[in-house]
Structure 1
Amino acid sequence: MKREIGKQLAWLAAISCLLMLSCASLWGQATASASLQGTVVDKSQAVLGKANVTITNKETGASRTTQTNDLGEYRFDLLPAGIYTVKTNAQGFSAAEAKNVEVLIGRTATQNFTLNPGNVNEIVEVTSAAPIVDLEKTDVSTNITPQQISELPLIGRDIGDLAQLAPGIKLADSYDPTKNRYAILSVNGQGGRNVNVTVNGIDNKDNTVGGPVMQLPAEAVQEFQISTQRFSAVNGRSEGAAINVITKSGSNGIHGSAFGYFRDQAMNAAQKLPDPANNTFTSTTPPYSRQWFGGSIGGPLKKEKLFAFFAYERQREHTSIAETPTALTQLYLVTSLGAQPTAAVPTPFFENRIAGRMDWTINSKHSAYLAVSTQGNNSLNDQSNGTFDLTEGNFTVNHMQIANITLNSAFSPTLVNQITAGWQYWNNLIDTTTRAPLITFPAAQFGTNTNVPQNSIQRKWQFKDDLTKTVGRHTFKTGFDYIWTPFMGGFFEFNPTLEIDFAANPSCILGVAPDATTTGCGAGTFPNGFKTAGAVNAMTIAVGDPTFIIKDAKQLGLYFQDDWKIMRRMTVNLGIRWDKDFDFLGGSDIGNSRTFQELQAAAPFSALAATLVSKQATDYSKNFSPRIGLAYDLTG
């Protein structure tokens, strides 16, 4: 016994040294599946080889069978997350069955059995719960379960808010107007741009500004996993967290849901806005009305064969931004120049979220599913604030899609494969119907908004394959992930019209209340009113080509992973991953950049310019990342 303990400690020390010397960078492709493993022994704790183990999905009736190896161990990989019944039997022993074994996405559940000698037709139900802890887990991750998604409150019905349940994650401020209604997640102190979200294994990342592209109907999400550190080799392309979401499917039973949330202006508290002119506050209750409703339904088209699921959410929002008293006063003084003052700037928002999924159990070895989700919204004046008038408003239109088709194949009890093809699309437009000079004053402004027009378009095709082979105590995983982005880009044309900045407010320039007696205001300083020389202190306008387009960018990831169960209580994860981006940053077009050409022209006379153009960005081909992890069960 002492010798065995000594060997285990030696293994533990050796692997710990490797872990300290290795570097596990944070990279997020994710597989939308889970694993189940365990050991079958008799009452004397002797292992039982060649025991039959069958798992059956409680919702769909789909099943798979394998046998334990000579060490009494069994394993199922690339399983759809869900609730399973696990049954085992061996010659000369009573059968045993464990019901309601929950298998969560990205995790390896463990269900062990102890068989009693007896009649093979007798079934003993295992009532002890499976271990809550993933005994083979080496990454730092948190699973958000179906129960949490259905029972915890969601402000804005964005499942990303639940990611705060994971250690090291908190909400952060929006970094882009297209993400104002999203849960922006700061992971271990970082910003929200570097979080990679996948839906059923398909990339849902905004390659322009970072973060997720679209939101799913909350009713359509089954569960998700957040990994923040020490990803396996299966995962890639993320410096921050990797969030892997899977959608709900139909089942043998008909199930559904419905919800509605309604709020009216009468339920709103008054807003208090500062009124510096009178050294007080003004109370106002701007218009507000919000309705959010939807539901889901799922069931069998053919029991234990073909299943369908559908979810829909609709949001209607009539909101507004109260104008500050000071800005309203100033804007009324310049209506002759084109200002359109209002006590409240309307900010209506309308959105549909739709998701559908169809699952097909082809036969005992093959199954497939198709999932499609779409999100579309439009709004007004989301670039406005309490100092803008109606002319400085805007409209925003978004259309987003994500889809996948996945084939799961169990070629043998120890060889399984999952192949997925996916599509992602996003088109965002922020623009205005007003084209007029932007006139700004210290306390108010009107004219064409500086943040328009802007447009972002992204189209992606993704192809990935994950192959798993179990050999003895080794579980080998290998695969590839290929993303082709035929088009990505758009335009950002800020200050599309002339911007004229006045140094003083209209009341000061005109010499009227509240600046009628203010020193430095009125006809003495501004004898020609707004035309007075020096009244304008700056003028700007955008020039050049605002478009940026990248075509045919490609990303390729290859990996190999060995989950080696050295002994019953110890599992070592050894893996390596290689990633490469092909012209993803538009490196081939740098030579056409006007800035680059100007720096080249200045290089003979400037050492700094010469340094900046001495080398152009190229595709990096040595992005290898080794992965080493250790899981040790201290309690046995």
Structure 2
Amino acid sequence: MKPIVLRAALGAALCCAAEASVFPQADVSTATIKGRVMDAQGAAVPGATITIRNLSQGTSRSAVSAAAGEFQIPLLQPGVHEITVEAPGFGTQVLKDVRVTVGQTASFDVKLEVAAIRNEIVVSGSGPLVEAQRTQQANTIEAIQIENLPNPGRNFSSYVFTLPGVASSDAPRVQGGARFNFGSSGFSIGGSNGRTNLITIDGGENEYGSGQQRIVNLSPEAVQEFQVNRNAFAAEFGFTAGTAVNVVTRGGTNDLHGSAYAYFRSQKTSSRNFFDRSDRKSFDQQVYPGITLGGPIRRDRVFFFTSYEMLRSDAARFRSYTSSSFLRPSPAQAGVLDRLDAAPDPEVRRISSDLRDALTTAPSIWPATFQMLRDNEGSFVSPTRLHNWTTRVDYHPGARYRDYTTLLSWNHVFGPRFVNQMRVQVSPGNSSRQLPSQPESTSLLIGGFGNFGRPFTDPFNTWQNRYQGEEILTWIKNKHTFKLGGSYRPVSYRVRNELWFSGEWTFSSGAFPLSLAVKPADRAAFAAAAGTLAAATNLSSLEAFNLGLPASYRQGFNNPEWRDTAQYLGLFAQDTWKLHPRFTLDYGARFDFDGEPAPVPHNRYVSPRLGFAWEVTDDHKTVLRGGGGVFYSPVYYQVVYVTNLLDDSGRYINQILRSALDATNSAAALWAAGVAAGKLPLRALAESDLIARGVATGRGAANRVLFQADPDYRNNYSIQGSLGIERQIAQDLGLEVSYQTYRGVHIQKHHQLNYR
């Protein structure tokens, strides 16, 4: 995949003249600066002109203070700004190196002196540590961290792991019983399974419908910063039951600048993997060369930034089967053999010798099996080659972005109190293709030992056209900042997944008694000699494979392609209410419509949100914050397409199942027929092979396997809450103690039922 991405902002902390404070949720890709202009005695100065200039791009925005001296300038690109405050009869005040980050609203009071001279105040870019009016649990990964922290995998989302409460969602303990074989966002916050995180890039959704990121290989060199809202965030953020991550990409400036780099991990300096038991260390090397270039197309008006990075990774892979203890009798089986070897009857000892051979996977005894194991073991190099190209073009005052995606943002200020934001994103032709390396082979699952042949999920091809349209209106009135908005996100799906088309044969340990490895004529003598010890001992999965005893067999036929559309709509209303100069209240609610394709029902939800921040002291260094709310996410699209492809309509896949317990055409009987036909164990059976044996494969066939959605299927959601206190101890040292709670409800999980 070669993305050309989008854009938004930069950031860090903010510091200002007299009093400065910061609170978040200005916007997913921009920042806001607001405040109050006063004279030396603290009286309001109306009619003052406030000009904010972006130092890197040279663009400016202006506002005039109202009767109470208040002003607010939204939709600022995060980064370093210069603020100039002018009023008749007062000296001009200039605040330099004011830094704002994505999602922040920076608020500060400016006091003007009566003078005819120009007063300049140079402000440190570090700013206060405590965001005194932030109500939710959130962190910002800034440019300094992206530039200086090691990132061996070159994955931009890896920086999330530097934050508290974050773990890998790939660990089986995180997925629990709800785990299935599709990728997730890669990280878990608050114990989630990683599929309910919302990640936006410059305000555009970065979603694949499965909880997996659509763009996963965005170069860190193209990322400027991102904000991670971990708990109890505002109603503006929807389509997530986990966290909301707002990523902004780098943009061009008035200065032409570029870089060339290469990250290299040598085969000679990387250590040998613990599981690599080959004579020579397996080849394992990574190379990441890249370039960046940005600058003006037209000074102070049009800018560009482009980044190219190549991923060349050769990862060592190794498998060893022929040295496994699985190839020899188990300790329990060895106990039975020892008893038989000690028997005085030579016929019993012969049975023991024959049984030992049957339980030993050796080239002289089971040559076909041993050769299959030998062909699939050894050291391998798994190559990965990716070309990541990201380009952003900014036009002031609008913005235009591209990716495999096109993102168009339009922001307009209707006077001092009304702001309108419109965002449209089109992501056509997003595809993910996975083809089988052995298309004619069948799938062999030898439990606890290894899987061989074609995976039952291959080939898996999916195409998506994703669209996003958003409209947000902000109304500033006295101590309130109201926001009303909506987001409409339709998706068209096309999935071709040949589930179980190659057939899947499962061989399980403990499914068959040890006596089946004894010749039928010897079983009575074996049972008498081994006694109860043999009755308590079973065959291993590999032994069952050698003996042609599958525990189950399943195979799919007919049409593996499904197409449909989904409709997602989210509406919200929220208010930031400054109840007191030291107390901020955020409250709001969302209405979400989740229009999934049938058979998943359409669902509608209302989710309230509430948060507060109380500055305990006047010095803006201690804040008590808390909040809570309900957070819904869409249904994973795998649930929808699997319950269509494997339904009972006959339009898509017809899947049959045979077990060891079937009286006729059992799994073992079909295996024996396939071996006799010269197809198994390496080639898949054809539909004609089954029909010839009287096995029906069409709609309504006996022993068919169906996947259905519960008629009352509901979207998963979380109930979140947090309470914490933060204190700045020194200029660069702070301490925060917080409690967070997450409760997940209606988490996806499958159940096995007898279909009637």
Please tell me the TM-score bracket, short chain as reference: 0.7 to 0.9
Give, in whole Å, the separation in 1 of the partners of 2:708 and 2:311.
51
Aligned mate of 2:587, from 561, 569, 574: 574
Contact 1:84 1:100 in 2 (8 A): yes
Give, in whole Å, the separation in 2 of the partners of 1:554 and 1:629.
35
- The alpha carbon displacement at 1:489 in A equals 3.9
Q: Counterpart of 2:306 in structure 1: which amino acid?
A: F
Q: Flag structure 1 segments of 5+ consecutive residues without an equivalent.
A: 1-27, 275-280, 362-366, 374-400, 510-518, 599-611
Give, in whole Å, the separation in 2 of the partners of 1:38 and 1:294.
42
2:344 matched residue in structure 1: none
Contact 1:109 1:131 in 2 (8 A): no
2:486 matched residue in structure 1: 480
Give, in whole Å, the separation in 1 of the partners of 2:317 and 2:275.
11
Q: Residues 164-203 of structure 1 correspond to what in structure 2 (within 5 A)? A: 164-173=161-170, 179=183, 184-203=186-205
User: For the structure 1 residues 448 and 593, does the alpha-carbon distance in structure 2 shift closer, same or farther, using more than 3 Å as the test?
Assistant: closer
- The alpha carbon displacement at 1:324 in A equals 1.9
Deviations 1:536-582 (A, max 9, x none): 34352322568474522111111222222233323222322211112
User: For the structure 1 residues 428 and 537, does the alpha-carbon distance in structure 2 shift closer, same or farther, using more than 3 Å as the test?
Assistant: same
1:44 matched residue in structure 2: 41
Q: Counterpart of 2:381 in structure 1: which amino acid?
A: P
Q: Counterpart of 1:108 in structure 2: which amino acid?
A: T
Indicate whether 1:403 and 2:381 are aligned. no
- The alpha carbon displacement at 1:125 in A equals 2.1
2:668 matched residue in structure 1: none
User: For the structure 1 residues 569 and 126, does the alpha-carbon distance in structure 2 shift closer, same or farther, using more than 3 Å as the test?
Assistant: farther
User: For the structure 1 residues 55 and 315, does the alpha-carbon distance in structure 2 shift closer, same or farther, using more than 3 Å as the test?
Assistant: same
Contact 2:443 2:503 in 1 (8 A): yes
Q: Counterpart of 1:250 in structure 2: which amino acid?
A: G
User: For the structure 1 residues 536 and 413, does the alpha-carbon distance in structure 2 shift closer, same or farther, using more than 3 Å as the test?
Assistant: same
Deviations 1:411-453 (A, max 9, x none): 3233222211102353112222412234565645543234422
Structure 1 window deviating more from structure 2 (136-145 vs 466-475): it is: 466-475
- The alpha carbon displacement at 1:230 in A equals 1.6
Deviations 1:123-178 (A, max 9, x none): 33243665443343212111111222122221211121111233222233266766
Indicate whether 1:436 and 2:441 are aligned. yes
2:236 matched residue in structure 1: 234
Give, in whole Å, the separation in 1 of the partners of 2:437 and 2:210.
25
Structure 1 window deviating more from structure 2 (254-263 vs 339-348): it is: 339-348
Give, in whole Å, the separation in 1 of the partners of 2:408 and 2:727.
37
Give, in whole Å, the separation in 1 of the partners of 2:483 and 2:413.
14
- The alpha carbon displacement at 1:272 in A equals 4.0
2:422 matched residue in structure 1: 419
- The alpha carbon displacement at 1:313 in A equals 0.9
Q: Counterpart of 2:442 in structure 1: which amino acid?
A: P
- The alpha carbon displacement at 1:191 in A equals 1.7
Aligned mate of 1:499, from 499, 505, 510: 505
- The alpha carbon displacement at 1:499 in A equals 2.7
Q: Residues 66-465 of structure 1 correspond to what in structure 2 (within 5 A)? A: 66-119=63-116, 122-127=118-123, 130-173=127-170, 179=183, 184-210=186-212, 213-273=215-275, 284-324=280-320, 326=322, 333-334=367-368, 340-361=375-396, 367-373=397-403, 401-424=404-427, 426-434=430-438, 435-439=440-444, 443=449, 446-465=452-471
Give, in whole Å, the separation in 2 of the partners of 1:631 and 1:417.
34
Matched positions, count: 535
Give, in whole Å, the separation in 2 of the partners of 1:76 and 1:285.
60
Contact 1:203 1:424 in 2 (8 A): no
User: For the structure 1 residues 317 and 532, does the alpha-carbon distance in structure 2 shift closer, same or farther, using more than 3 Å as the test?
Assistant: closer
- The alpha carbon displacement at 1:531 in A equals 11
Q: Counterpart of 1:371 in structure 2: which amino acid?
A: Y
Give, in whole Å, the separation in 2 of the partners of 1:502 and 1:573.
56
Indicate whether 1:555 and 2:568 are aligned. yes
TM-score normalised to structure 1 length = 0.74
Q: CA RMSD in A?
A: 4.2
Structure 1 window deviating more from structure 2 (334-343 vs 312-321): it is: 334-343
Indicate whether 1:64 and 2:61 are aligned. yes
User: For the structure 1 residues 291 and 628, does the alpha-carbon distance in structure 2 shift closer, same or farther, using more than 3 Å as the test?
Assistant: closer
Name the SS of the counterpart of 2:218 in structure 1: coil
Structure possessing the higher radius of gyration over alpha carbons: 2
Give, in whole Å, the separation in 1 of the partners of 2:180 and 2:38.
57
Give, in whole Å, the separation in 2 of the partners of 1:556 and 1:532.
52
Q: Counterpart of 2:380 in structure 1: which amino acid?
A: V
Contact 1:438 1:449 in 2 (8 A): yes
Structure 1 window deviating more from structure 2 (92-101 vs 534-543): it is: 534-543
Name the SS of the counterpart of 2:487 in structure 1: strand
Give, in whole Å, the separation in 1 of the partners of 2:166 and 2:571.
29
User: For the structure 1 residues 334 and 167, does the alpha-carbon distance in structure 2 shift closer, same or farther, using more than 3 Å as the test?
Assistant: same
Q: Counterpart of 1:403 in structure 2: which amino acid?
A: T
Give, in whole Å, the separation in 1 of the partners of 2:508 and 2:575.
67
User: For the structure 1 residues 345 and 124, does the alpha-carbon distance in structure 2 shift closer, same or farther, using more than 3 Å as the test?
Assistant: closer
Give, in whole Å, the separation in 1 of the partners of 2:724 and 2:144.
30
Structure 1 window deviating more from structure 2 (61-70 vs 284-293): it is: 284-293
Give, in whole Å, the separation in 1 of the partners of 2:645 and 2:169.
34
Give, in whole Å, the separation in 1 of the partners of 2:204 and 2:577.
28
User: For the structure 1 residues 538 and 232, does the alpha-carbon distance in structure 2 shift closer, same or farther, using more than 3 Å as the test?
Assistant: same
